[in-house]
Amino acid sequence: MHHNTCRYTVGDWTVWKVEERSIEAFTPDFLFPSWGQSSLSSSQHWQDELITVPASGTLRLSIHSWVLSKGEQLVILDTGIGNGRERPGKAVFHQLNTPYLDRLKSSGVDPLKVGLVINTHLHTDHVGWNTHWHGDHWTPLFPNAKYHFPKPELSHMRSHTGHLVPVYQDSVRPILEAGLHREVDYQTTEIAPGLTMVPTPGHTAGHMSVWLQSQGESAVFSGDVMHHPLQVLAPELSSVFCEDAKTAAVTRLALLQEVKRRDATYFSSHFPASSVGRISQVNNELKWVFL
């Protein structure tokens, strides 16, 4: 199936994925530091070709954006890694050359018509296509959009001296310099009718997720609350990339329960295959069901 053919509806919104790249490099015990203590590690029933690579035992992950469309409104949620980025020591992100922009356009998105960009947090694989290389500098890819950043993410990034420095320089600072950003306070904030950003801390201190509600239907765009469907089966598993594993686990369980309660569609940032699904409950166990 072509990358852009699956379209989902949430009330009067249409949602689709634009994939940047897939990753099949991480084993469960790398991605989840507490894997060894997990009940899953001793059983094989979780192994599934959609979510693992049987030959190597590595996990399938995806990096992509979500496009939300309603009438003339176009929203991009999380913008991937970007091409041509200096990410020393991070082969998965370094100097990529993917057809993401062509995929975005062929899916029906004119970057000039995007009015809203949301970054759930400011890690390198969620902000890259905020900008593109134009002439001799990084410039906003969506020049007519308001880019929404969680406020604590931005202040943390500005004072950061490590791996976030190049990310700030090529993917965030050009947005600030163009005056295209809005800092979202770290509280439940409606940023457009039906679109609400909510704090979901743990992965990073200022991480936020986005709820979409329309005509009685609900969906959540979770950012990095979960990285892989195994976390539905074992919500206590936090990823190696989570800054505060304990808080992340509390956030994850609360979000899963909320998704279940609202019977919401779950749009993930890194799940493989369609990357979208629902949470079903069998006896006491939560299960992931791909849509």
Tens-digit pLDDT profile for the chain (291 aa)?
344 469 999 999 999 999 999 999 999 999 999 999 988 887 766 778 899 998 888 999 999 999 999 999 999 999 999 999 999 989 999 999 999 999 999 999 999 999 999 999 999 999 999 999 999 999 999 999 999 999 999 999 999 888 899 999 999 999 999 999 999 999 999 999 999 999 999 999 999 999 999 999 999 999 999 999 999 999 999 999 999 999 999 999 999 999 999 999 999 999 999 999 999 998 888 999 999
CATH class of 7-222: alpha beta
> Global pTM?
0.96
Give the three-class secondary structure for 263: coil
pLDDT at 1: 32
b or e along 89-120 (b: 16 or more beta carbons within 10 Å of the residue's beta carbon)?
Answer: eeeebeebebebbebbeebebebeebebbbbb
Question: By C-alpha distance, which of 40, 10, 52 is closest to 273?
Answer: 52
Q: Is 261 left (phi over 0), alpha (psi -120 to 50) or beta?
A: alpha
Domain boundaries in the chain?
Answer: 7-222
